[in-house]
């Protein structure tokens, strides 16, 4: 019988002079899988193959920057103290990318890429929503190898073992305590959300940003209750962890998008291209094809 899950003993591998951190590898794997899935979905809606790469070239760097900045500024005591190494702010491979920050700046980068591609922002947002959640799920494996983001003590069979020597081990706890693997809960929740988004999109044809809104609601709902049992240090605002407030805002924004777009767009989405793009495409068609 399994009584607990051991933590991995390594978080990186060395290939000659190159050190590969598992956290970074899982983030990269998640991005690649998200791009593949999103490209497939966007192509089915009329875009050329590879269009998502042009968008990702803007969205990914913006997202990583936003995720890191949000994490640093919501965990200031980890980076700003007497004698601190301020360069640690840039050590992304050690962990510390906040998903809500990544969404904020990533959306700005995606908007730039979408405009350059001549597509509608909400159409692309709907196409990439399942891929975003898939990337988040894969990325959580990096937290396992970094031995971070665990929750309250528990003796459940899937409890996570954390060595007392780990800097993240809670002060005052005796050695040998096992904890909720909250990063694993979020991974399972996110993968379930991916399937739910794909099923509902196929059955209900959720367009005009409504699938993206649903993505925000699904992810944020799970993040709120998972965040509530995490015990890693966090800024507290009005009695709640900062990321619980972020999740609440995520749910509100998601519901607002769904409701507003439901009343603004009653019909079927005719095209993912902006009107000017459609006109240009039609003008290039041979006369006999019209």
pLDDT computed for residue 1 by the predictor: 54
Asked if 46 contacts 273 with a C-beta cutoff of 8 angstroms, the reply is yes
Is the pLDDT at 154 greater than 90? The verdict is yes
Mapped onto helix, strand or coil, the DSSP state of residue 1 is coil
**Whether pLDDT at 290 is above 70:** no
In the chain, where the domains are located: 12-153+175-279
| pLDDT on residue 59 | 96
Measured from the Cβ of residue 274, the count of other Cβ atoms closer than 10 Å reads 17
* pLDDT in the model for residue 236: 86
- Interatomic CA distance for residues 127 and 257, integer angstroms: 15
Whole-number percent of the chain with pLDDT over 90: 66
Q: What is the pTM of this model?
A: 0.88
| Mean pLDDT, rounded, of the chain | 89
- Tell me how far apart the alpha carbons of residues 131 and 212 are, in angstroms, rounded to a whole number: 11
Measure CA 69 to chain center: 15
Angstrom distance (rounded) from CA 220 to CA 216: 6
Phi, psi dihedrals of residue 207, rounded to the nearest 5°: -125, -175
pLDDT (average), residues 127-133:
97
CA distance 103 to 57: 15
Mean pLDDT within 251-255:
97
Predicted local confidence at residue 2, as pLDDT: 64
Sign of CA pseudo-dihedral 33, 258, 240, 154: negative
Q: What pLDDT shows up at residue 279?
A: 39
Residue 77 above 90 pLDDT? Answer: no
- Quickly state the pLDDT bin for 75 (edges 50, 70, 90): confident
C-alpha distance from residue 77 to each of 83, 89, 224 (Å): 12, 12, 23
- Confidence check: pLDDT of 286 > 60: no
């Amino acid at each position: 019988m399994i009584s607990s899950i051991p933590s991995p003993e390594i978080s990186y591998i060395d290939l000659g002079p190159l050190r590969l951190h598992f956290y970074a590898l899982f983030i990269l794997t998640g991005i690649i899988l998200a791009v593949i899935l999103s490209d497939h979905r966007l192509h089915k809606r009329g875009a050329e193959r590879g269009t998502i790469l042009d968008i990702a070239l803007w969205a990914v760097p913006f997202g990583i920057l936003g995720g890191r900045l949000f994490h640093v500024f919501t965990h200031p005591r980890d980076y700003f103290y007497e004698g601190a190494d301020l360069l640690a702010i840039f050590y992304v491979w050690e962990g510390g990318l906040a998903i809500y920050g990544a969404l904020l700046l990533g959306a700005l980068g995606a908007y730039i890429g979408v405009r350059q591609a001549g597509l509608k922002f909400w159409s692309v947002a709907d196409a990439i929503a399942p891929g975003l959640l898939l990337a988040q799920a894969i990325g959580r494996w990096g937290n396992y190898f970094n031995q971070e983001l665990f929750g309250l003590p528990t003796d459940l069979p899937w409890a996570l073992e954390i060595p007392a020597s780990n800097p993240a081990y809670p002060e005052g706890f005796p050695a040998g305590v096992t904890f909720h693997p909250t990063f694993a809960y979020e991974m399972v929740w996110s993968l379930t959300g991916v399937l739910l988004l794909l099923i509902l999109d196929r059955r209900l044809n959720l367009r005009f940003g409504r699938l993206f809104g649903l993505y925000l609601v699904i992810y944020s709902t799970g993040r709120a209750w998972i965040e509530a049992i995490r015990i890693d240090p966090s800024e507290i605002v009005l009695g709640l962890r900062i990321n619980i407030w972020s999740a609440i805002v995520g749910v509100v924004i998601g519901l607002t998008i769904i409701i507003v777009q439901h009343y603004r767009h009653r019909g079927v989405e005719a095209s993912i291209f902006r009107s000017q793009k459609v006109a240009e495409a039609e003008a290039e068609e041979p006369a006999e094809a019209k």
